[in-house]
Amino acid sequence: MPKKHQFLQLSKSCFLFITVSRLRAGMWSKWKYKQQQRKSLAFSTFLNRRQQKDLLLQIKEKQLLESNRQHRIKPLQI
């Protein structure tokens, strides 16, 4: 049977190991969460840019149609 101080030392090292591993796990999960947030943010900005481009294209098409209508030659009325 180990002596008392050896046992205490062993329990201290176990405690430290568990604490450090918990801290590492916490940091890892925090990092993963932040990575996930960054990914979702990047994806949403990508989608927003895409939607903005689509909207701009639609607006340009509408303007083109309007300008074509305005520049059409009206038939001569006799």
What is the predicted pLDDT for the residue at 28? Answer: 84
| Rounded Cα–Cα distance for residues 34 and 40 (Å) | 10
Contact 16, 24 (CB under 8 A): no
The tokens for 21 are 């591993």
Please give the residue that has the higher pLDDT: either 2 or 16. Answer: 16
Please state, rounded to an integer, the average pLDDT across all residues of the chain.
Answer: 82
Phi and psi (nearest 5°) for 3?
Answer: -70, 165
**Residue 66: predicted pLDDT:** 86
**Which residues, 6+ apart, have CB-to-CB distance to 2 below 8 Å?**
10
Q: Which residue has the higher pLDDT, 51 or 8?
A: 51
**Polymer length of the chain:** 78
38-76: pLDDT as tens digits: 888 888 888 888 888 998 999 999 998 888 877 776 666
